Amino acid sequence: MDGAEAVIHIDGLVKHYGKVEAVRGIDLRVARGEVFGFVGPNGSGKSTTIRCLLGLLRPTAGAIGAFGLDSTRDGVALRRRLTYVPGELRLPDRLSGMEFVASIGRLRGGFEPARRDQLAERLRLDLHRHLRDLSSGNRRKVALLLAFLFDAELLVLDEPTNGLDPLVQHEFLGMVREARSAGATVFLSSHSLSEVQRAADRVAVLRTGKVVAQGTVAELRGQARQRVEVWFEDDPPEVELRALPDMVDPVVDDHRFTATLSGSIQPLLGLLARHLVTSMLVEEPDLEEAFLDLYDGETV
């Protein structure tokens, strides 16, 4: 992807907090109109990268920005085109939800009360209550409402569904799809892999401040281990099965063979074609497995 197509550009981003290296050299491009998953465990550098993108943190080295604008130099112009849900969400206690949303609306301009009410209804959120009286889930709904209230070209969502019940999570995913259909780009940071799996077109996986893998969800799944289970009519060809490449922990138990496959399934299928197989199960890896694999080693 060249620079002209990219909405978000990150080049050699490094961020240190004193001696702590939170981000250790990230290069990334996010294309216009895609939902980009930014995945990693706590402390992997996701939020630091996002806070650099918003201009809240100044990079130690490298460059980060969006729409061709630099986060540090052109922060106001850049933030005019994006909305944000923080991972660690703190809202002003002394205001009601209605007051807070109206205040942000006045700061941004283009605030439509009708759309606010529509989103509040959709998220099942009572904005008349004081923010200090809201549960963490309802506070997050306030932040989500703000993220979708304005026609932003880029939505930066850091752990957006933390504390939300499954119904609202489902609604949120619908809102993400609608935003993308309307032409918005969504940068979705999460350690909830199922959420990213359902929403993202492409994913980058972070580990200790570095991107250890990136690609489509399908590509990451392809890198993951698959669990295979085969039932033979007769005794399994144990010696041949154990000799197959990329076979981890093969177990023969009566007519049943189980193993974990860390590479292509083709050699196994070739072998099985020569034998009488009564049943076979290949568990499709979800991103969780791909993700855990990436943490086993430095990169995949």
Partner 1 sequence: MNARILELVAGPLRAMRRATFWWSLGLAALVAGTMSVWPAFKGSSGISQAIDQLPSGVVQAFGLADFGTPAGFLRANLYDFFVPLLVVIAAVVLANGQTANEEASGRLELYLAQPIDRRAALLGRASAALVALVVISAVLLVAQLASDAAVGLSIDTGYVLSTIMLCALLGTLHGSLAVAIAGVRARPSLVLGVGIGVAVVGCVVASLFPLSSVLAPWRHISPWDWAFGGNPLDHATELWRYPALAAPSVILTALGVFVVARRDISGA
146 vs 7: CA distance, rounded Å:
21
Q: Which two tokens stand for residue 36?
A: 């980009």
Tell me the closest approach of the beta carbon of residue 177 to partner 1, in angstroms: 23
Largest CA distance in the chain: 74
Q: How far is the CB of 98 from partner 1 (least distance, A)?
A: 12
Nearer to partner 1, 53 or 247 (CB): 53
Closest approach of partner 1 to the CB of residue 76, in Å: 5
DSSP designation for 72: T
From the CB of 186, what's the least distance to partner 1, in Å? 16
Which C-beta is closer to partner 1: that of 58 or that of 170? Answer: 58
Residue 264 burial (C-beta neighbours within 10 Å; 0-12, 13-18, 19+): exposed
The candidate with the shortest Cα–Cα distance to 172, out of 2, 221, 129, 180, is 180
Interacting residue ranges for partner 1, rule: CB under 8 A = 47, 51, 54, 56-58, 75-77, 79-80, 83-84, 86, 88-92, 94-95, 99, 103-104, 106-109, 143, 146
End-to-end CA distance of the chain: 21
Burial 28-56 (b: 16+ CB within 10 A, else e): bbbebbbbbbbbbeeebbbbbbbbbbbbe
The two tokens of residue 182 are: 């309307």
**Nearer Cβ to partner 1 (153/289):** 153
Looking at the Cβ atoms of 138 and 197, the one nearer to partner 1 is 138
Cβ-based nearer residue to partner 1, 172 or 257: 172
- Nearest approach, Cβ of residue 82 and partner 1 (Å): 8
User: Rounded distance, CA 101 to CA 242, Å?
Assistant: 62
> Where does the chain have alpha helices with state H?
46-53, 75-79, 97-108, 113-122, 136-149, 166-181, 193-199, 217-222, 238-242, 266-272, 287-296
Residue 57 CA to its chain's centroid (Å): 21
3-class DSSP state of 235: coil
- Closer residue to partner 1 (CB): 32 or 108: 108
Q: In the bound complex, what is the minimum distance in angstroms from residue 153's beta carbon to partner 1?
A: 12
Residue 74 or residue 246: which is nearer to partner 1 going by CB?
74
Could you tell me the smallest distance in angstroms from the CB atom of residue 87 to partner 1? 9
Question: What is the closest distance, in whole angstroms, from the C-beta atom of residue 47 to partner 1 in the complex?
Answer: 7
Phi, psi torsion values for 289, nearest 5 degrees: -70, -40
The dihedral sign for the CA sequence 16, 19, 21, 22: negative
